[in-house]
Amino acid sequence: MRDCRASEASYSRTTLQNLLEEYAGATKDEMRDHLIAFLREVVPVAEELGVRLAIHPDDPPWSLFGLPRIVSTAEDVRSILSGADAVSNGLTFCVGSYGARADNDLLAMVNEFASRIHFVHLRQVMREPDGSFYEAEHLRGSSDMVGIICALLREEARRKHQNRLDHEIPIRPDHGHLLAADISRQVNPGYSLVGRLKGLAELRGVMHGLRYGIPELGN
């Protein structure tokens, strides 16, 4: 698995309000139907060109400002993947976003959807008893990060055995804390340099440790 960089976008109160008004009255079924209609148009082209599409989950995975959510649970994922059933129609598996919901079994989701995971955000959150959450250290949170990485490495090994060109699953160590020199920098929240490098080092340590201890996971 290799690291990839993030992009960004920003909104003013006015532009955000304008966006919300565009979706006034939209229902979950309508949103899902529109998404699947879109995928049915673009996925065949992606298959033809060897492109991998990877939809990111809702963040957070529950309704905000009255907007319906359609990429928040395992049931949502099943609908999306079956709506345009092809390898190119896949997922960005964000551990933090899916992990913000206590009713999401992330390890079960990775195992079920492994063949359609094309990108991974290894981000960690800690859930609070009241349902809120906060960004946590990559290896200290509510999600079983080591188990998830192990399942992803097994999928990479399976793909490599099949001689798939896309056997490496790109990853990103999302949402690092502000550390040391980051404090004096102008950085976007969650995208600090030193904090993310710390997370990447920890995650790479887990990967190398698993490969060392479980030889069938490969090198």
Catalytic residues: 56, 94, 121, 174-175, 191
Nearest to 101 by CA among 133, 56, 136, 139: 133
Q: How far is CA 184 from CA 46, 146, 178, 195, in A?
A: 43, 32, 10, 13
Helix (H) or strand (E) holding 117: strand 117-121
Burial class (CB in 10 A: 0-12, 13-18, 19+), 71: buried
User: 193-213 and 145-161 helices cross at what angle (nearest 10)?
Assistant: 60
b/e sequence 181-194, b meaning 16+ C-beta within 10 Å:
ebeeeebeebbbeb
Q: In what order do the strands lie in the sheet with 117-121?
A: 53-55, 89-94, 117-121, 171-172
User: From CA 59, how far away is CA 45, in angstroms rounded?
Assistant: 28
Coil, helix or strand at residue 120:
strand
Q: Phi and psi at residue 205, in whole multiples of 5°?
A: -60, -40
Cβ atoms of 153 and 210 within 8 Å: the answer is yes
